[in-house]
Amino acid sequence: MFKHLTDLTKAAAFYGITFALVLAIALLSRGDASSGNLANMLSMLAPLAAVLLMLLVVTRDGRVQESWRALGLGQSGWRAWGVTLLGPALLVLVAYGILWRTGYAALSVPDGTTLVLVVTAILSTFAGTFVFALTEEIGWRGYLLPRLLPLGPDRRCC
């Protein structure tokens, strides 16, 4: 559609599309308390939807494989995965351990809860968090950040 947009114009369009999607989700779910969690989850998918709209509709850069590689999806970064996955889990375990040990929190398991149910809940929470975090990172860091680099890689205040 638009073939000669600058990076800053693409960044502004991406941000505008993302904002419009989140605003539409918020307005459509307004007043309905039961759809609050669904609205939050859909809002987290908005950056990925905006990337797809930018690459496939607005700029049509999605026809070139290099545009998809520029999002950082072709680099696995296996060396950092251990720290990335285990670091936060270790911090949470230490924090909960301190809370349980000091008596500020108690570990309580509802009656009838099995180990399989607990493990399933933990794994589904982890998978959902991973998917939603990945969709946001693709949008904000993979698409928007490289287009804002013409402003300068390091803009420190004061």
Contact 2, 58 (CB under 8 A): yes
Q: Taking residues 19-34, report their average pLDDT.
A: 84
pLDDT category at 156 given cuts 50, 70, 90 is low
CB 19 within 8 A of CB 50: no
Pairwise CA distance, residues 48 & 54, whole Å:
10
Whole-number pLDDT of residue 157? 54
pLDDT in tens, 94-133: 998 999 899 888 877 777 777 788 788 888 888 888 888 8
pLDDT (tens digit per residue) in 30-49: 766 666 678 888 899 999 99
Give the Cα separation of 130 and 85 in Å (integer).
10
Predicted local distance difference test score (pLDDT) of residue 155: 57
Average pLDDT over residues 11-39: 85
- Residue 10: other Cβ atoms inside 10 A: 21
**Quick one: pLDDT at residue 49?**
94
- pLDDT tens by residue, 73-82: 777 777 877 8
